[in-house]
């Protein structure tokens, strides 16, 4: 049962591939059901994100969007290591300056952020030396570093990941 769902507004005729991809990957009835569960003002964003995922899946039928997520997670991890190293350098400079003035060095700075092994649903800034960085995760079932097959722990006979949330 439709609740004011207008596909023509969400899938404009000048973007035929958008609907074609979404229909191919998700199916029109699934998309209708998904969109019907949303408020009207949310539907355009939902359609755009579905179209993005569908296109990613058409281009890469094995990984879809996951390739991009993996790549970005590796970048985040690399930057975290660089931040840790830079923070350590900064502490050394600060300590050297304070010691030269005959004062006590500051207490050890809090660690830079926890690793981004899992992917957040909502960013939650955490404090600490070197400022703010989003803490992960709230995806308990698919940690990036653990049970996906492109990581070492994948077991193809174990159903991949526990279905608990």
Q: Quick one: 20 or 69, whose CB is closer to another protein?
A: 69
The interface region with another protein, picked from 2-10, 11-19, 103-111, 134-142 by CB under 8 A, is: 134-142
Q: Of the candidates 9, 110, 132, 153, which one interacts with another protein according to CB under 8 A?
A: 132
* Strand, helix or coil for residue 72: helix
Query: For residues 58-117, which are near another protein according to CB under 8 A?
Result: 61-66, 68-69, 72-73, 75-76, 79-80, 82-83, 86-87, 89-90, 92-94, 96-97, 100, 116
Cite the DSSP H helix spans in the chain.
Answer: 7-10, 16-25, 28-36, 40-59, 66-100
> Which residues 6+ apart lie within 8 Å of 160 measured at CB?
147, 148, 149, 154
Residue 64 structure tokens: 């879809």
- Provide, rounded to whole angstroms, the least separation between the CB of residue 63 and another protein: 5
- Provide, rounded to whole angstroms, the least separation between the CB of residue 104 and another protein: 17
Residue 119 structure tokens: 């992917």
Residue 138 structure tokens: 């709230």
Residue 104 structure tokens: 């006590």
Q: How many CB atoms lie within 10 A of CB 11?
A: 19
Binding site for another protein (CB under 8 A): 24-27, 29-30, 34, 37-38, 42, 45-46, 49-50, 52-53, 57, 61-66, 68-69, 72-73, 75-76, 79-80, 82-83, 86-87, 89-90, 92-94, 96-97, 100, 116, 119-121, 123, 130-134, 139, 141-142, 148-150, 154, 156-164
């Amino acid at each position: 049962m439709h609740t004011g769902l207008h596909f023509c507004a969400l899938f404009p005729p000048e973007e035929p591939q958008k609907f074609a991809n979404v229909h191919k990957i998700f199916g029109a009835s699934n998309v209708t059901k998904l969109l019907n569960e949303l408020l009207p003002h949310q539907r355009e964003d939902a359609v755009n994100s579905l179209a993005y995922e569908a296109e990613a899946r058409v281009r890469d039928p094995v990984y879809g969007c996951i390739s991009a997520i993996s790549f970005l997670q590796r970048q985040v991890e690399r930057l975290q290591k660089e931040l840790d190293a830079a923070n350590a350098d900064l502490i050394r400079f600060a300590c050297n300056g304070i010691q030269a003035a005959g004062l006590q060095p500051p207490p050890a700075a809090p660690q830079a952020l926890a690793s981004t092994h899992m992917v957040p649903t909502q960013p939650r800034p955490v404090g600490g030396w070197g400022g703010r960085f989003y803490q992960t995760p709230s995806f308990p079932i698919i940690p990036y570093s653990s049970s996906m097959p492109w990581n070492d722990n994948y077991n193809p006979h174990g159903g991949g990941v526990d279905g608990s949330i």
